[in-house]
Amino acid sequence: MGEVPRWSDVPAQHGRRYVVTGASSGIGLEIARALAARGARVTLAVRDVAKGERVAAQLSGDVEVRLLDVSDLASVRAFAEATGEIDVLVNNAGVLGVPYSRSVDGFELHLATNHLGHFALADLLLPRITDRVVVVSSRSHLSGELDVDDLLWERRRYQPYAAYAASKLANMLFLAELQRRLTAAGSTLRVTGAHPGSTVTQITAHTGSPVKTLVGRYGHPLVGMPATRGALPILYAATMDVPGNTYIGPHGLSELRGWPTAVRRSRRALDPDLAKALWARSEELTGVGFPL
């Protein structure tokens, strides 16, 4: 294999509109910053509008801030109803390793935030998307196991990091199944996926575990990439001419660091029957289905 090119040159994005969820900090903010700097019109879809406005004031380019809590289906529907035509939806917002809690809709919070809200948002916006949906997953999906009959952790002993890995596996299955449905419907829309490797952000700051929070705060910067670098695989998946169902991550050892390239996915992530079963259960839980 040849050396992976050191890609960081986001193509010009003039005339294109993006929605980026979770764009008030971390990777989402760096995605929005890079897209706006290259001429895109970017909507920062955030839970905390005041915080979003503060960071938006520091960005150059055409940006707007709008309220979106992807863990709340009413918020998802309201956001979708007020959104016009866009080119790209970047499903980036997420939580990691949080103590057991339920969303306002009664769903386990990892599944609600990382999968179900984004599932509903993409399906609701699909008729107004002109180019692609970008699914932000994680290398943690490699260890993820998904019990479709107990997605909400009602019968099993709750394990925060297992719940996170399961939600990231759900992202991968959604990526594949949405692309399959689009292709079968004759649509030219595409779905791409990406993960940021080991990137230093605040996502580990709310685990409820003092030890894990300290490790994330002080240990992660020793091995992780800055958010500007971690954003590159997602930017590549969002802006480059790659086929649907492409999955991008860092090229280095264990996909922890490096430059954007196509990366592996788990055997479970490639299971079409599991993807279809998850889709059916997600439709049942959200009340939102494939619109095309």
pLDDT in tens, 121-166: 999 999 999 999 999 999 999 999 999 999 999 999 999 999 999 9
Arithmetic mean of pLDDT, 44-62 = 97
User: Tens of pLDDT along 235-252?
Assistant: 999 999 999 999 999 988
- 158-190, pLDDT tens digit by residue? 999 999 999 999 999 999 999 999 999 999 999
Provide the total of helices (H) and of strands (E) in the chain, helices listed first: 11, 8
Query: CA 278 from chain center: how many Å?
Result: 17
Q: Is the pLDDT of residue 203 over 50?
A: no
Q: Which domains does the chain have, with CATH numbers?
A: 17-286 (3.40.50.720)
Q: Is 164 a catalytic residue?
A: yes
- Candidate list 158, 161, 164, 247, residue with the active-site label: 164
Residue carrying structure tokens 């932000």: 136
pLDDT at residue 4 greater than cutoff 90:
no
Q: Which residue from 160, 47, 142, 158 is spatially nearest to 104, judged by alpha carbons?
A: 47
Distance CA 48, CA 87 (A): 24
pLDDT at 214: 46
pLDDT for 217 equals 52
Are 75 and 4 in contact by the 8 Å Cβ rule? The answer is no
Cα–Cα distance for residue pair 82/27, rounded to 1 Å: 25
Name the pTM for this structure: 0.92
Mean pLDDT for the stretch of residues 76-84 = 98
Give me the mean pLDDT over the 269-290 stretch.
Answer: 98
